[in-house]
Structure 1
Amino acid sequence: MNKKLILSFLLLGMFSIFLQHHPVHADPIPNINIDVGGSGEGGATSSISILLLITVLSVAPAFLVLMTSFTRIVIVLGFVRTSLGTQQMPPNQVLVGLALFLSLFVMSPTLSDINETALQPYIRGELTQTEALNQAADPLKEFMFKQTSAKDLLLFMNYAGDSITEKPATYSDIPLTVMVPAFAIGEMKKAFTMGFMIFIPFLIIDLVVSSTLMAMGMMMLPPVMISLPFKIMLFVLVDGWYLVVQSLLSSFNT
């Protein structure tokens, strides 16, 4: 035991002597300086621009949902899945992806107008940022104006202080703060109307299956297990997805 203790002290002394003759030099910490656009007036302007860009990107999903055809399409597709009773089939990713591409197809003329009248002139430097935004809002307001009923539009216009009784003839004088909510509630109303019509044939199948099982005395058997294959078969035989998408596309041709 004493030999081990003496050996430990000898090793500790040798290590301390080694450190005295060979000091350890730590690597200097690199100086990292992130400067966005400088520290002057231009830097402040760049910082504000970046902040505005981040804000726009954060609210972009709201623009997509409330200012395009996406709302009506995704609600109707959700009603189709609910009426079939297939739980999570098709999955949410498939329904949302299909709704996105259908929205892109429906909105393609509007997006083309925005590209020609606002985006390309802004890239060439012919328009300022404010002018480009105003030019881009006009095609969107034109699309929403065609799909918005007079009742929904007058609700928000009268609440905003405009005492009018008829739908304006043009969309240019209607602000987006009035147009967007009026368009959104109108889209939900149309989507729920289409969803109700989709529910009717599948509801009839559920009623027939339930009545048949009750008449046969098979009250312990869940009617969903029997009606689900019949609903899927009916939907496939009539080419249901084609009819739903055709109805959706036709509903925007106003």
Structure 2
Amino acid sequence: MEFIVNGGGSDVVKILIILTLISVAPFMLLMMTCFTRIIIVFSFLRNALGLQQTPPNQILIGLALFISFFIMQPVLSEINETALKPYNDGQIESQEFLDRASVPLKEFMLKQTTADEVDLFINLSADEEMQYLTPAELPLHIVVPAFITSELKRAFLIGFLLFIPFLIIDMIVASTLMSMGMIMLPPVMISLPFKIMLFVVVDGWGLLIKTLVMTYN
């Protein structure tokens, strides 16, 4: 509503832009921010601990959302300064607003994207002109899929590393139960409290969130 209150430009165009942004906001959140990596890592963590619905999906999504806002704050501030304020003041048109707003997002995505993913989608585009463009000149239809592919790769790598200590606990508990002849007792029932205790003792949530934030620095 701030668009309309502050004036500048056609109100009809502003309303259309607001409605468009609202409709595509969920997809932008998933495809153009750090939300995807964070929520996938949280899901891996829950599976590694052996917990089915704890914490609930709503809690994990909410935590991932606010951590994403924390990480994306510099990008959002730059968009506000370079695109939103000039547009509200009537200094730029709608198209220039979109062009300026996309620049910080593209810079953020390119910093988190490996060259292999970028080259993959450039080759798949079958457009020879793409080969001669600098990373900053690449269009969003190349940058976004390259970024999300890179995010998935990193999220799965972090998830693999998360599984290792909990898998070791499962193996130790299973071998101990077998040596004691308790074959009928499910090892998961015994290892689950130990995995939760280990995670709490080492301040697992704090370490995991700190690591995720630092991967974007």
TM-score of the aligned structures, taking structure 2 as reference length: 0.89
Alpha-carbon distance in structure 1 between the residues aligned to 2:51 and 2:78: 40
Is the Cα contact below 8 Å between 2:49 and 2:195 reproduced in 1? yes
1:4 aligns to what?
Answer: none
Could you say which structure has the larger radius of gyration?
Answer: 1
The answer to whether the aligner puts 1:148 opposite 2:113 as a matched pair is yes
Is the Cα contact below 8 Å between 1:154 and 1:167 reproduced in 2? no
Candidates 52, 56, 74, aligned match of 1:87: 52
Measured after TM superposition, the shift of residue 54 of structure 1 is: 3.8
What is the letter of the counterpart of residue 203 of structure 1? L
Measured after TM superposition, the shift of residue 56 of structure 1 is: 3.5
What is the letter of the counterpart of residue 241 of structure 1? W
1:205 aligns to what?
Answer: 169
Measured after TM superposition, the shift of residue 58 of structure 1 is: 2.3
Measured after TM superposition, the shift of residue 159 of structure 1 is: 1.6
1:29 aligns to what?
Answer: none
2:140 aligns to what?
Answer: 176
Residue identity over aligned pairs, in percent, reads 56
The answer to whether the aligner puts 1:236 opposite 2:170 as a matched pair is no
2:79 aligns to what?
Answer: 114
The answer to whether the aligner puts 1:125 opposite 2:74 as a matched pair is no
The structure in which a higher percent of residues are helix is 2
Change (3 A) 1:143 1:48: closer
Is the Cα contact below 8 Å between 1:150 and 1:166 reproduced in 2? no
Structure 1 ranges of 4+ moved more than 3 A: 45-56, 162-170
Structure with higher RCO (Cα < 8 A, 6+ apart): 2
CA displacement, residues 212-239 of structure 1 (integer Å, 9 cap, x when unaligned): 1111111111111100000011101111
Q: Secondary structure at the match of 1:219?
A: coil
Measured after TM superposition, the shift of residue 246 of structure 1 is: 1.2
Measured after TM superposition, the shift of residue 77 of structure 1 is: 1.0
Report the aligned-residue RMSD. Answer: 2.1
CA displacement, residues 142-168 of structure 1 (integer Å, 9 cap, x when unaligned): 000100000000111122234489896
The answer to whether the aligner puts 1:73 opposite 2:75 as a matched pair is no
The number of residue pairs the alignment matches comes to 208
The answer to whether the aligner puts 1:245 opposite 2:212 as a matched pair is no
Measured after TM superposition, the shift of residue 134 of structure 1 is: 0.2
Shifted more, 159-168 versus 189-198: the winner is 159-168
Measured after TM superposition, the shift of residue 50 of structure 1 is: 5.6
Alpha-carbon distance in structure 2 between the residues aligned to 1:76 and 1:176: 25
Alpha-carbon distance in structure 1 between the residues aligned to 2:75 and 2:47: 31
Candidates 223, 227, 230, aligned match of 2:187: 223
Structure 1, gaps ≥5 residues long: 1-44
TM-score of the aligned structures, taking structure 1 as reference length: 0.77
Change (3 A) 1:177 1:165: closer
Alpha-carbon distance in structure 1 between the residues aligned to 2:142 and 2:148: 10
Alpha-carbon distance in structure 2 between the residues aligned to 1:111 and 1:51: 21
CA displacement, residues 48-105 of structure 1 (integer Å, 9 cap, x when unaligned): 8766654442221010011001011111111111111121111111111110111001
